[in-house]
Amino acid sequence: MLRINCPFCGERDHGEFTYGGDAAVVYPALGAPLDAWIDAVYVRTNPKGPHRERWQHSLGCRLWLIVERDTITHAITGVAPARSALSALLKEPGR
Amino acid sequence: MSPYSALALLKHAVTGRPWPRAWRDPAPKAVYDVIIVGGGGHGLATACYLAKEFGIRNVAVLEKGYIGSGNAGRNTTIVRSNYMLPGAIEFYDFSLRLWNGLSHELNFNVMFSPRGQILLLHSPDALDSAARRGNIMRRHNIAARLLDRAAMQALVPHLDYRPSARFPIWGGLMQPTAGTARHDAVVWGYARAASDLGVDIIQNCEVTGFLREGGRVVGVETGRGTIRAGKIGIAVAGHTSRLGEMAGLRLPIESHLLQAFVSEPLKPLLDHVIGFGGHGHFYISQSDKGGMVFGGDLDMYNSYAQRGNLPVVRDVAAMAVSLMPCLGRVRLLRHWAGVMDMTMDGSHIISKTPVDGLYLNGGWCYGGFKATPASGWCFAHLIARDQPDPLTVPFSLDRFARGATIDEAGSGPTPNLH
């Protein structure tokens, strides 16, 4: 069982989360060349080993997270909110 | 190689002579006309048809483990062709026609058993939708029968027909010509036939890189040395992205886990292959040894681990007992996972690549087993003639950029939902 340590809710089984795919994928500007869009929509690095990926805590706080997970061992080495501003906020003392 | 026959069986029984090995175990030569990377069903079928249909016999199949140790030995052995999108219909129909003659063609009993596959229907809307699918199939001369509830109860009595059933059964869509085949036998049959025609099957020979000359691939680096070839075909289910990366290709593929299960052997219980979709995802058949062979959905996250996780085990078990309550106390014998190369539209890729001399066969999602004969035939045609067969044209690698995806599930560029 994968366990994801949600920054808000604590460690939960991955059944509470929805997978959102490779976090390296960023959609280009609407006017970007077609090739950039084809790449973002269809092409994936699909690494064997460390993978930064999106998960949503859909049965919890519904926050989107960036999870660092190994695709061979399934070991999770990092979880952070997908919005970096939220990440910084969480690090403030007293939060 | 002496053909298998009743007479041969009798001869060996009387004389007690041991059977010779079914395929040769040669050391790799320095140069071949064609190298196929991947000794699963698709790779071996490709090599077999290259030699048999296209006259190219100086062929090597390189397998990193032993042949059939990947997804060829990890599937749930279902063979069907109940598709409804142009391209997929014709391709899988061709495959089913090859399955029908395969045991004779290979002189090896692949135990193809067209026992019929039934898609369960759980609402009046599902019946309408299935009628449409059935009509499209029949329009293409693929047998399809829409079954009402009474017909279902007569054919498959052990499903849950109670009014309180979690998934009330309104009917089913049957493809009577679909069924199962023995997956290992398919691998062994193609290996034996290919080896007999001169193909070198080289096991424990992992490809670690491609040899390039002027932009063209001219060979592979392997654990057993450098092997050169004019043309190289990739057929490596699950690891297609990794082989692609070695050649500088980025592909529309994610690797995902699919688990499968087999129970302890039971007396004959289920005569057909049963499929269940929409409200969940489940499929089950009974093997000739009596084991209930079944599976469900992907684990949903990228993985190369070849082992799955418990939430899917729970979901699959829940669907099994919801649909067939009599399975409630059946014990599981084995359970495993394979790595699926899931494409962005849920359809496979048989295509030339931007790299000269390199051909790609992959992205079979979790429907590759039933495609084995047609996949091998079409890939062999592509490599031998350097031109795709009409059945192969829709499945080119550039279809994504052209917007010509073949998305049977209609779930868009989301690999884990196909």
DSSP A48-70: SSEEEEEEE-TTTT--EEEEEEE
**Chain A residues bordering chain B (beta-carbon distance below 8 Å):** 1-2, 13-15, 19, 21-22, 34-35, 38-39, 41-46, 48, 51, 53, 69, 71-74
B251/A43 Cβ within 8 A? yes
| Predicted pLDDT of residue B39 | 98
User: How many angstroms separate the CA of residue B123 from the nearest CA in chain A?
Assistant: 28
**Chain A hits for B303, Cβ within 8 Å:** 71-72, 74
The answer to whether residue A90 scores a pLDDT higher than 80 is: no
The closest CB to that of A46, out of B253, B311, B416, belongs to B253
Q: Is B203 on the interface with A (CB under 8 A)?
A: no
Q: How far, CA to CA in Å, does A67 sit from each of A77, B301, B316?
A: 8, 12, 26
Task: Please write the tens of the pLDDT for every residue from B3-37.
Answer: 999 999 999 999 998 899 999 999 999 999 999 99
Task: Give the ranges where B3-148 is alpha helix by DSSP (H).
Answer: 6-15, 41-53, 88-106, 124-139
The answer to whether residue B61 scores a pLDDT higher than 80 is: yes
| Predicted pLDDT of residue B279 | 84
Q: Which residue has the higher pLDDT, B2 or B365?
A: B365
Strand B145-148 and strand B117-121: pairing? Answer: unpaired
In sequence order, what are the residues at sequence separation of 6 or more whose Cβ sits closer than 8 angstroms to the Cβ of residue B94?
A: B374, B377, B391
Provide mean pLDDT across the span B184-202: 98
Q: Which residue has the tokens 């491609």?
A: B210
**Chain B hits for A48, Cβ within 8 Å:** 239, 241-242, 255, 304
User: How many angstroms separate the CA of residue B252 from the nearest CA in chain A?
Assistant: 4
Inter-chain contacts counted by CB atoms under 8 A, chains A and B:
71
A19/B252 Cβ within 8 A? no
pLDDT band at A87 (very low <50, low <70, confident <90, very high): confident
Provide mean pLDDT across the span B343-352: 98
- Asked if residues A76 and A92 have their Cβ atoms less than 8 Å apart, the reply is no
| Predicted pLDDT of residue B251 | 98
A2/B413 Cβ within 8 A? no
Q: What percent of chain A has pLDDT over 90?
A: 85
Altogether, the residues listed in chain A come to a count of 95
Task: Please write the tens of the pLDDT for every residue from B211-269.
Answer: 999 999 999 999 999 999 999 999 999 999 999 999 999 999 999 999 999 999 999 99
The answer to whether residue B140 scores a pLDDT higher than 90 is: yes
Task: Please write the tens of the pLDDT for every residue from B292-329.
Answer: 999 999 999 999 999 999 999 999 999 999 999 999 99
Provide mean pLDDT across the span B110-138: 97
| Predicted pLDDT of residue B107 | 97
A14/B302 Cβ within 8 A? no
| Predicted pLDDT of residue A89 | 79
The answer to whether residue A95 scores a pLDDT higher than 70 is: no
Q: Is B19 on the interface with A (CB under 8 A)?
A: no
The closest CB to that of B413, out of A41, A45, A74, belongs to A41
| Predicted pLDDT of residue A94 | 66
